[in-house]
Amino acid sequence: MNMPHLMRHIQDTGALLDTLFPIQRQSTAAVPPCCTGSPSCVSGDSEAAEEDAEQLVSVQTVSAAPAFREDVVALHATLQKRLEDRRARPTGLCPIRRALYCDLFSELVRQVTVEEPARGLLLARVREEAEHAIQVHAALLCEGQRFVAGKLMQEKQDALALKERIAALRQEKVALEVQKHELLETLKEMEQLFEEERQLRRKQRQDEVKYLRHANQQLSLRLKMETERESAATEVEGSSEAAPATS
């Protein structure tokens, strides 16, 4: 909205209203006149009417009539009725309620512009700024919704990947449990074999020690007997040598 241009033409209320509220054109098909007579005439005229049907253009302009207290009260009643008829939500985001209040704001801008053009221009600028802010917030909302949808999709994919990873880890855990059981069985068998071998070696050492002790006893006994024999022989020789000397 070009505010400097509108301020220069602020005295022309009609042109100002036409600028703030552009003319709306609506095209409707013309209704052909009825024809009385024979059926052939009716059908022929109908075909000609369909071929020559023209477009009627209706022009809707804004009213420059000022509003009084009764008009404001009626406007409020009309707003309440339209809200109830269209079942607009009283709170939260509701496009129906927003559209009705936009129409109400436009009517207030028209009424203020008719009474005070400068104030109406400022109010129209406020309306334009509010609509721009709503559009920006709507765009941000769409971006946020797309971002959230992307995040949800990514979370679903991540959750699916985690579930697959958990399933793979569980299978790996089962395989490791089986491997652990096999290793424990192998360890148990090896410990049993080692214990049997240790017992066998201990028995062999005990038998060897027993044999060596017995051999030692035999050798000691034999050595003792040999020693006693040598001692006896020595005594016999000594006594035999002493006998001739005394004689």
- Provide the residue-wise pLDDT of the chain in tens; the chain has 247 residues: 555 555 555 555 666 666 666 666 555 444 444 433 433 333 444 444 444 445 555 556 667 677 778 888 888 898 888 888 888 888 877 888 888 888 888 888 888 888 887 888 888 888 888 889 988 988 998 999 999 999 999 999 999 999 999 999 999 999 999 999 999 999 999 999 999 999 999 999 999 999 999 889 898 888 888 888 888 888 777 777 666 555 5
Predicted TM-score (pTM) above 0.75: no
Nearest to 63 by CA among 27, 98, 5, 23: 23
Bridge partners, 132 (sequence order) = none
Phi, psi of 92 (to 5 degrees): 75, -170
What pLDDT, on the 0 to 100 scale, is given for residue 195?
93
3-state helix, strand, coil split of the chain in percent (to 5) is: 80, 5, 15
Using DSSP's 3-state secondary structure scheme, residue 57 falls into strand
Is 164 in contact with 172 (CB distance < 8 Å)?
A: no
Which two three-digit tokens encode residue 59? Answer: 């022009």
The closest alpha carbon to 102, from 19, 21, 1, belongs to 21
Q: In angstroms, rounded to a whole number, what is the distance separating the alpha carbons of residues 137 and 18?
A: 29
Q: Tell me the C-alpha distance between 143 and 137, whole Å.
A: 10
- Specify the residue for token string 């089962």: 174
Q: What is the pLDDT of residue 50?
A: 47
Separation of first and last alpha carbons in the chain: 172
Residue 133 backbone phi and psi in degrees, to 5:
-65, -40
Please give the pLDDT value at position 19.
65
pLDDT number for residue 124 = 83
- Please state the φ and ψ torsions of residue 157, each to the nearest 5 degrees: -65, -40
Q: Which residues pair with 55 in a beta bridge?
A: 29
Check residue 7 and give its pLDDT.
54
Can you spell out the DSSP letters for 199-229?
HHHHHHHHHHHHHHHHHHHHHHHHHHHHHHH
